[in-house]
Homo-oligomer: A and B are copies of this chain.
Amino acid sequence: MATEMDLRALLADAIERRDREAAEETLWQLSEQDELGRALQELDPPRLTRLAQLLGDEHFGEFLAELEPSEAADVLERLSWGEAADVLEAMAPDDAADVFAELEPEEAGRILVAMEPLEAQELQELLSYPPDTAGGRMTPAYVALSPSVRVDQAIVALRQLAQAAETIYYVYVTDEEGHLLGVVSMRDLVLSPPDRTVGDVMETDLVRVAAKADQEEAARILIEEGLLAIPVVDEDNRLLGIITVDDVADILEREATEDIERLGGSQPLEVPYMRASPLLLWRKRVGWLLLLFVGSAYTVSVTNYYEDLIAQVTALALFIPLLIGTGGNAGSQVVTTLVRAIALEGIGLRDIPRILPKEIVTALMLGLVMAIVAFGRAEIEGLGRDLSLAVACAIFAIVLWAVTVAAVLPPVLKRLRIDPAVVSAPLIATLVDGTGLIIYFNIARLILGL
């Protein structure tokens, strides 16, 4: 913590002395300690403005792009509208759009008015797509040429455009109305005879993704095809932007993180864990915890219903946690594997005829092993052969039941367009708790002849 305070003092000092190099160095160190956002948010407006001027809009914008968009928006709101507009203009358009989307509406309107008309229009177009779609993720900083341009002219054009473009490894070819006709890689340009036209050497059989498509779909196509960028088009095949390969890792990691957090039984945090406040953690967890509690509360009624049975054979209560715990564990194994397989392998409802037999055979084998072990464990207690037999049969039936429920639910939810990851390990455990008790008490009643 001392270092962090030191760094803030150093930053304030560097701004005071107008020492650009020291300010920059301190900002990098804060960024590495994940403290950049907090440090910038705590600078008063005059100092912040001086810092932006010291670094220049472009450089200051690069630091803002390192932050979570909501943090960056907080910082921008403490600059003057004109200054904020300049910084946004200097940022990469896709980063600028992410930050802009987090501004207070009134503030956003004022800043937009202060921006250059062309840049403002570009920003608004990017903002018209939700952030998790291909359109929300794309950048308009691509290079597009007409098919009649010669290869050597194209290379000259690339030199001029190199600064502004996100990637110059692909040059897209469009007609006058902006319809996407083809693509030429820089590799092809360099290797082609200079007097051919771009239209001659372009690849016309190219993949593209609709602006409304999920960003994950764009990322998966990009990987499968081994591309460095994928073009994003509107319904009329007009080129709107590109998604580059450096966005892909970020998209995939976010999706995996969301799935993991859901599978653990909470809502996705959407910010890095270390930046999450207890209040945020509470908000993301309390809903599911309550829902699971309510779902689990019927175990009280179930146990109550069989109270006579427990009163007759108190020993039955001994095995309750063990039996329902094992059911929950078996279900959790299936659910997590399946949810991931749905995300990666595109498994759906139509695959149930292949999933279910496989899972049931597995469950029969697992159940058998667990039944043998449970029989042995019950025998150690020495409460009678019949009780041991009841426990063994119950665990076999519960494992089979838990696996079946866990194998069927995720594909069904996917079909209902609900994220299958909501069938978390805790949810399966909860579902299996009460039904497992019913299975157990009935088997016990049968075998013990009560």
**Knowing A249-B223, A303-B317 touch, does A266 contact B325 (C-beta < 8 A)?**
no
The smallest C-beta distance from A136 to any residue of chain B, in angstroms, reads: 20
Interface size on A, residues (CB 8 A): 104
**Knowing A162-B187, A273-B338, A345-B273 touch, does A314 contact B321 (C-beta < 8 A)?**
no
The answer to whether B261 and A337 have CB atoms under 8 Å apart is: yes
The answer to whether A300 and B377 have CB atoms under 8 Å apart is: yes
Interface assignment of A347: CB less than 8 Å from any CB of chain B: yes
The answer to whether B286 and A369 have CB atoms under 8 Å apart is: yes
For A436, the closest partner residue in chain B by CB is B321
Which residues of B lie under 8 Å from residue A285 when comparing CB positions? Answer: 330, 333, 362, 366
Q: Which of A98-106, A112-120, A233-241, A252-260 contacts B (4 or more CB under 8 A)?
A: A252-260
Which residues of B lie under 8 Å from residue A265 when comparing CB positions? Answer: 329, 332-333, 336, 425
Chain A residues 285-307 with CB under 8 Å of chain B are 285-286, 288-290, 292-293, 296-297, 299-300, 303-304, 307
Which of A248, A260, A282, A433 counts the most chain B CB atoms within 10 A? A260
Interface assignment of A448: CB less than 8 Å from any CB of chain B: no
The answer to whether B340 and A260 have CB atoms under 8 Å apart is: yes
**Knowing A248-B249, A293-B373, A304-B381 touch, does A282 contact B329 (C-beta < 8 A)?**
no
Interface assignment of A446: CB less than 8 Å from any CB of chain B: no
The answer to whether B300 and A381 have CB atoms under 8 Å apart is: yes
For A299, the closest partner residue in chain B by CB is B321
The answer to whether A337 and B377 have CB atoms under 8 Å apart is: no
* The residue from B256, B299, B314 contacting A325, defined by CB atoms under 8 A apart: B299
Given A257-B344, A260-B336, A263-B336; 8 other pairs, CB 8 A cutoff? A169-B186, A260-B339, A278-B358, A278-B365, A282-B362, A296-B321, A300-B321, A324-B325
